[in-house]
Structure 1
Amino acid sequence: MTETAAQKAVCVYCGSSYGEKPQFAEEARKLGSLLHSMKWKLVYGGGTTGLMGEIAKAAMGPEVDGNVHGIIPNALVSRERTEEPSEKHEKKNSVSSFNDEIKKSVDNHNGSTPLSHEYGTTTIVPDMHTRKRLMATESDAFVAMPGGYGTLEEIMECITWSQLGIHQKPVVLFNMDGFYDSLLEFIQHSIKSGFISEKNGRIIQVASSAEEVIDKIQQYVVPDGRFTLNWDDEHQESK
């Protein structure tokens, strides 16, 4: 990893749940801590639960002096915190206890999240479209950690925007513990089947550690072969 680098704003998409493996939360904290140490800005979906909460709190740092901007639709904001896995799961040695706690969180999660200054500055927007546009225009790079439907939709849209020539920003899959292996297989299948060009397949960079995520962002080379369409104001905003 390069020792000195210009400060960047990195948009990270990830789940509002923890997932079934403690490693997911651990790696989220590592990336958040690394962003904090580099004084890079984290742009994310504004949640304080699951992997969202883990990376945001880590990016704020132990002195709560980091640069974190959460962007969340009003409909997803909860005024009261419900019982959920918290820092106490880090102290448990029992994998089964962790998994039981995680299952309860996923089953009982209604999609809303509480807000707290410990997770940075939060902007509440009226809808998902506004959220995604603001996250995109404010960021210099896009990273996907493990997540569900929302995470997949968001990172795929960023990939598509790059293919269409709307932006030239790095797109990185943080493939911790092989989480995105099946998606990468699908992409290779689409390339072999003639639906994605080999060059556009290079839009996506893959990292397996927090340090590699930073390396992929710093060393990103915009691939040839993307569309060169005129997107007027949108094209200029997203560069």
Structure 2
Amino acid sequence: MERIVVFCGSSEGNDQKVIDEARALGRRFAELEIALVYGAAKIGVMGQLAKACLDHHGKVIGVIPEFLKMKEVVHLGLTELYTTRNMHERKLKMHELSDAIIALPGGFGTLEELFEMITWAQLGLHQKPVGLLNTNGFYDHLLKFLEHMVKKGFLKIENYEMLLVGSTVDELLHKMNNYRPKPVPKWIKKDQV
């Protein structure tokens, strides 16, 4: 994996362990020479992640829609910065720039980005590893709900198992490095998206 997109919060939340793990991930990316692709903000968990990667001489690529440049504090010290017309183009660009996907703790936006990427994998549109860093049990309730969806017949177990979960940076990166996608029938063709 040479470039990994990380989706995470534009706020810092109230759990210092979340910030510590975001910094650890940024540092680890720099050490492993993995370029970070992220939402281009210098605030929140996003900002902490990018700062740690940059502080350790890592490569950081930001992607932000034009309208968010007004509302969020865009990080101007990045290796590369892309501006898109809207949120849809932002996600597509982030996906195009990366070999893998990780979600850290965040809010609605983080969940929306994670679920779009895992849905694309389910549909056979990509075979990239999709990881969830479950820092301090942040995603425990979400994982229980996904298990509930499997039990109720709305989510196939093989699709649930596409989501790689780790409670530490190294555990998650190990799972992602060893990920072998299962054959998934393509429901739709790429030119139909």
The answer to whether TM tops 0.5 is: yes
The equivalent position to 1:187 in structure 2, one of 135, 146, 166, is 146
The equivalent position to 1:55 in structure 2, one of 28, 49, 56, is 49
How many pairs are equivalent? 193
SS of equivalent to 1:142: strand
1:232 aligns with 2:190: yes
Specify every segment of 5 or more residues in structure 1 that has no aligned partner in the other structure, as ranges: 1-6, 79-110
SS of equivalent to 2:156: coil
The offset of 1:233, in angstroms, is 4.4
SS of equivalent to 1:205: strand
Summarize deviations over 1:31-61 as a string: whole Å, max 9, x none. 0000000111110011110110111111123
Aligned to 2:58: 66
Supply the distance in 2 between the matched residues of 1:53 and 1:234 (Cα, whole angstroms). Answer: 35
The offset of 1:66, in angstroms, is 1.9
The offset of 1:234, in angstroms, is 7.5
Supply the distance in 2 between the matched residues of 1:112 and 1:39 (Cα, whole angstroms). Answer: 28
1:35 aligns with 2:29: yes
Q: Is the 8 A contact 2:125 2:190 kept in 1?
A: no
Q: Is the 8 A contact 1:56 1:120 kept in 2?
A: no
Supply the distance in 2 between the matched residues of 1:229 and 1:216 (Cα, whole angstroms). Answer: 26
Summarize deviations over 1:181-232 as a string: whole Å, max 9, x none. 11101110000000111111111010111111211210112134x3323423
Q: Is the 8 A contact 1:17 1:51 kept in 2?
A: yes
Aligned to 1:85: none
Moved over 6 A (4+): none
SS of equivalent to 1:32: helix
SS of equivalent to 1:123: strand
Matches of residues 1-239 of structure 1 in structure 2 within 5 Å?
7-62=1-56, 65-78=57-70, 111-117=71-77, 119-224=78-183, 226-233=184-191
The offset of 1:116, in angstroms, is 2.2
Q: For residue 74 of structure 2, what is the amino acid of its counterpart?
A: P
SS of equivalent to 1:46: coil
SS of equivalent to 1:71: strand
SS of equivalent to 1:199: helix
Aligned to 1:102: none
C-alpha RMSD of the superposition: 1.6
Summarize deviations over 1:120-173 as a string: whole Å, max 9, x none. 321111111110000011111000000000000000001100110000000101
Q: For residue 170 of structure 1, what is the amino acid of its counterpart?
A: P
Supply the distance in 2 between the matched residues of 1:49 and 1:120 (Cα, whole angstroms). Answer: 17
Supply the distance in 2 between the matched residues of 1:165 and 1:192 (Cα, whole angstroms). Answer: 23
Q: For residue 72 of structure 2, what is the amino acid of its counterpart?
A: S
Q: For residue 146 of structure 1, what is the amino acid of its counterpart?
A: P
Q: For residue 121 of structure 1, what is the amino acid of its counterpart?
A: E
Q: For residue 67 of structure 2, what is the amino acid of its counterpart?
A: A
Supply the distance in 2 between the matched residues of 1:232 and 1:126 (Cα, whole angstroms). Answer: 22
Q: For residue 39 of structure 2, what is the amino acid of its counterpart?
A: G
